[in-house]
Amino acid sequence: MQIDLSNQLHYLLALLPETVLSAWAMLVLLVDVFQKGDRSEPSSPVIPWLTLVGIGLAAVANAWLLTLSEASPTGMIAIDSFRVFSNFLFLLAAALFVLISARYLDQEKLRLGEVFVLMLVAVVGMMTFAGSRDLMVVFLGLELMSLPVYVLTGVNRRDSRSAEAALKYFLLGAFSSAIFLFGIALVYGGTGTVNIGILAQTLGSDGLGVSPLVLVGMTLLAVGFAFKVSAIPFHMWTPDAYEGAPAPIAGFMAAGVKAAAFAAFVRVFLTAFPGLYETWGGMVYWLAAITMVAGNVVALSQNSVKRMLAYSSIAHAGYLLVALAAASTLGAASFLFYLLVYTLMTVGAFGIVLLVGREGEAHLDLEAYSGLAWRRPLLGVAMTVFLLSLAGFPLTGGFIAKVYVLQAAVERDLLSLAVVLVLASLVSYWYYLRVAWYMWFRESPEGVSDAGIVTSPAMRVALVASVIGVLLLGVFPGSVLEMAARSAVSLMGAATGMAGILP
C-alpha cells in the first residue's frame, strides 16, 4: 500500500505502532485505577499480562508497516525496514522488562500499575525518537522517552540510592536536551530546514561551503546523542543511574534507551549529514576509542556486579560507535545485529542481578555469586552465557556481532580503531570471567541461604528465551543478519556518497 505523507490522515497509518501502544498505555492506566478500591491498594497481577498483550499488538502493527511504501520520502516519519527493525528491538526490551520485573515489583512492594504505563510511554518515545525524519520530531521523541525513564529510575521512593540516581539523571538529562535543542536551532539557522532528507540535499554530497552554524549545530547534536548513548566523556550519569535504579529498570535503560539513542544517532548522521562525514567521522572515531578503552579499564576495578555492568554498557557503546564511524551499509547492518544481541544479554544479566540481590538489592558484590552455579544451576548457566557473549566469546551472538563491526571498520580502513576494539575486548574478558569464576570455582560462604532467590515462571521464560537467542545468534546468525542488511540498505538508500557494500 502506498501512502502520501503530504496527506495528514496518512500519518495515522505511518504511526500505527505508536498509536496502538499509546492507546494501550491509557487502557492499562484506566484498568489499574478502576480495579483499586483506594490508592493504597497494590495493582492487580493482571496488569503485567495486559501490558504484554499491548506489546504484542504493537509488534503486529509494526510488522504491518512493511506492507507500506512512500510516494515521496520527505515526510516527518520514516517508513523503512530500519525503523521496523529498531521498533522490534524496543518492543523486545519492553517484553523482557515485563517478564523479569513482575515478581520483583511484588517483592519490593512496588506493585504499581503506573510502572508499566510509564514503560509503555517510554517505548512510544523510543519509536518516535528513532523513526523520525524531522529534527524537531526527533527532539519530541527524545523527551517522550526520557521523562518516563527519569521517573522510573526513582520509582522506589524508600531507597535513597534510587532518588539520588533519578535526580542526577534528570539534571544531566535536562542539560543534554538543552544542548541538543540548541544544535537543532543552529542547524535550522544555517540551512532553513530541520527535515533530514532536505538537509542532505541542501548540504550536498561534498559538504563544501557549509555554514559554520551548521558545523557547530551538528557538533552539539553529536554531544546530545553521546550523552544518551553513554559515550565518554558524557557518561557521568550512567554508573550512578544504573546502580541506583531498580535492577529491571536499569536493564531496560541499558538496552532500550541505549538502542533508541543509537538508532536515532545513526539515522540522523548517516542520512542528514553524509556529505560532512570528514568532519563528524573523526569526532565519532575518538569518541569510540576513548569509550572502549576507558569503559573497560574502569570496569576492571568494580566489585559491585551491577556497577560493573554499568561500565560494561559504556564499553559496548564504544563498540557500537565503531559501527557508526564506519558509515556504511555494512556498519549499519552490524549495528542492528549488535543491538539485538546486546538487548538479550544485557536484560538477561540484569535479571540475574536482581535475583541474586534479593530483597532491597542488598547483595550486589562479587561474594554474593560465590558457588551460585552449583546451588542454582539455571542461574549459573544463564549468567555464564550472558557474560561470555558480552565478552565476545566464540559461538555466542556477542562474538558474531563484534566480528561484523570489525569487518565494517576494516572495510572503511579504520584499522587502528579495529585494533583498539580487539584489545579492549580482551581486557573485558578479565572482569566478565571473574564473575563466572566466582560462580563456578569459589566456595559458597558458610551459612549462605538462597531462600530469597525465587525465580518466577515469567522470569524463567525470559532467561531461557534470552539464553537461547544469544546462542542461536552465535551459531545461526544468517537469517537475522540478512534482515539487518535489508534494513540497513533501506536506510542508506537515503544517503549519498557513502562507502560500503554489503556482501
Tell me, rounded to whole angstroms, the distance of Cα 497 from its chain centroid: 28
Instruction: State the virtual CA torsion across 466, 469, 473, 478 in degrees, nearest 10.
Output: -150
Task: Report pLDDT for 501.
Answer: 33
**Whose grid coordinates read 560493573?**
308
The Cα–Cα gap between 127 and 123 comes to: 6
The DSSP bridge partners found for residue 70 are: 3
The Cα–Cα gap between 434 and 431 comes to: 5
The Cα–Cα gap between 270 and 87 comes to: 19
The Cα–Cα gap between 76 and 11 comes to: 9
Nearest to 402 by CA among 339, 346, 310: 339
And the C-alpha cell for 397? 551472538
Helix, strand, coil shares of the chain, percent, nearest 5, are 75, 0, 25
Nearest to 328 by CA among 406, 264, 265, 412: 412
Q: What is the CA radius of gyration of the chain?
A: 22
Nearest to 116 by CA among 89, 144, 152, 90: 152
The Cα–Cα gap between 110 and 112 comes to: 5
The Cα–Cα gap between 147 and 355 comes to: 27
Three-class SS state of 70: strand
The Cα–Cα gap between 334 and 340 comes to: 10
Q: Is residue 82 pLDDT above 60, yes or no?
A: yes
The Cα–Cα gap between 451 and 379 comes to: 14
Could you read off the pLDDT of 299-340 as tens digits, one per residue?
Answer: 888 888 888 888 888 999 999 999 888 888 888 888 899 999
**Average pLDDT over every residue of 364-393:** 85
Could you read off the pLDDT of 124-146 as tens digits, one per residue?
Answer: 999 999 888 888 989 999 999 98
Q: Are 341 and 318 in contact (CB under 8 A)?
A: no
Q: What is the pTM of this model?
A: 0.90
Could you read off the pLDDT of 37-66 as tens digits, one per residue?
Answer: 666 666 677 888 889 999 999 999 999 888
Share of the chain above pLDDT 70, in %: 89
